[in-house]
Amino acid sequence: MKYSKYNIFSNIRDSENFFIINLLTGNADILNKAEAEKLQLIRSGAIVPDSDFMAEVTEKGYFIDENEETSLYRKKYLDFIDSREKDEIQIFFVTNYSCNFACTYCYQDQYTNSPHELSDEIIDAFFSYVGKEFSGRKKYITIFGGEPLLNSPKQKEHIKQILKRAKESNLEVSFVTNGYSLEDYSEILAAGKIREIQVTLDGTEDMHNSRRFLKGGGGTFDRIVRGVDACLKNQIDINLRMVIDKDNIDNLPGLARFAIEKGWTKSRFFKTQIGRNYELHHCQSSPDKLFDRVSLYESLAEIIKLHPHIPEFYKPAYSVAKFLSENGELPDPLFDSCPACKTEWAFDYTGQIYSCTATVGKSDESLGSFYPTVTRNTTAIENWESRDLTSIPECRDCSVQLACGGGCGSVAKNRTGNICSTDCRPVKELLEMGFSAYIEINKA
């Protein structure tokens, strides 16, 4: 019996206690100081005269036979691959890279707009490619930009056409929009099969307007709020995203209060997410304003302690801690956290195919075309498809691998030039915070 290499063991933040989780065997425990010491002693090879404790840590797979562990890993890996083959595919379609906003942190601001324009012919080619390539798979479409809901007659016709074609193919459609023209699209959206609309508000009015303003200036907050109201009234799901950095994090309590007072958080059509503002492809003008993952979640934990109404609006996941506290069990092991070319693809109006939203529009990342002719760069596609924990050498002996999943392939490639390299997640630190915020509190 040896100490499992998939144990994640550490102390719970602001507590005397420790936690241990093992995503391969699906067990999680809180240990007091004496138990944690016993565990460490056994790990170092000492004989501990406590047969009950020994039996329990062995039964839970914290100590395990090496061969048994290898075969369990293989079995769970195959289960993961099997189940992913049945998963739904999210297919992004970029209708344009242009935008009516000039957000301070936009990562697409250096993209050049192609002289091509979207046409019915390109929309037809997109649906015909999707129908053929992903036939028999569950799937849905997400319209992305730039800003896809620009308030022009031509753009409205394109969106109508996309919604019509999607309906004919029995596909739901989501939108990622800045939300400025949502109200103007009410009728068009009402005629489609809409799954969800993702809209961004970066804070309450003044804060939001100082970060997400119109090209040429002008606030956008009021119109977005009216758009969210209209969608919720029409029972269209809203996924409200706040992009956070050090400039606006203190406004989270204010935005949470605003959403609660509007009644949004009571709606079953409303959910939220927090996006970390980070350097995706090029340096931000002020990188010192950005959080890394640990400091973002540390700041969130502090702010939530001071403003206990925030969880009604948003609850951080802290790796698998929120899942564990809400479901009473761990999620399945995550052998791959990057869906690119597996359950995610991206297409744009110039006819190009990409791995996902992080690469879409970067011509050197194109994986082929669906228009005017169908071409596929099979070597590049296979490279993306092969990315998981088993193809990233550094991940093989990493104890947090089954919670991390190897991170983002695009971030990894930007860092090392190689898709099959690491984008490490601070799993242990996040769990230290998460056990403190959600699990130990409930146990007390």
Rounded Cα gap, residues 19 and 136, in angstroms:
43
CB of 414 to ligand SF4, least distance (A): 10
Decide: is 91 part of the binding site for ligand SF4 (CB under 6 A). no
Decide: is 227 part of the binding site for ligand SF4 (CB under 6 A). no
Closer residue to ligand SF4 (CB): 18 or 335: 335
Closer residue to ligand SF4 (CB): 6 or 63: 6
Binding mask 374-413 for ligand SF4 (x = CB under 6 A): ------------------x-xx--x-xx--x-xxxxx---
Contacts of 152 (CB under 8 A, 6+ apart): none
Decide: is 439 part of the binding site for ligand SF4 (CB under 6 A). no
Buried b / exposed e along 362-380 (16+ C-beta atoms within 10 A): eeebbbbbbbeeeeeeeeb
Q: Which two tokens stand for residue 135?
A: 């036939």
What number of CA atoms fall less than 13 Å from residue 198's CA on the CB side? 17
Contacts of 97 (CB under 8 A, 6+ apart): 108, 111, 113, 114, 145, 146, 348, 361
Closest by CA position to 178, among listed 111, 130, 108: 108
**Binding span for ligand SF4 by CB under 6 A among 37-45, 134-142, 154-162, 421-429:** 421-429
Decide: is 339 part of the binding site for ligand SF4 (CB under 6 A). yes
Site for ligand SF4 in 239-268 (CB under 6 A): none
CB of 403 to ligand SF4, least distance (A): 8
CB of 421 to ligand SF4, least distance (A): 8
CB of 70 to ligand SF4, least distance (A): 17
Rounded Cα gap, residues 147 and 175, in angstroms:
10
Closest by CA position to 231, among listed 288, 177, 290: 177
Decide: is 361 part of the binding site for ligand SF4 (CB under 6 A). no
Q: Which residue among 143, 236, 338, 431 contacts ligand SF4 (CB under 6 A)?
A: 338
CB of 341 to ligand SF4, least distance (A): 8
Q: Which residue among 425, 429, 439, 440 contacts ligand SF4 (CB under 6 A)?
A: 425
Rounded Cα gap, residues 20 and 431, in angstroms:
10
8 strand-pairing partners: 21
Return residues touching ligand SF4 (CB under 6 A): 338-340, 344, 356-358, 392, 394-395, 398, 400-401, 404, 406-410, 422-425
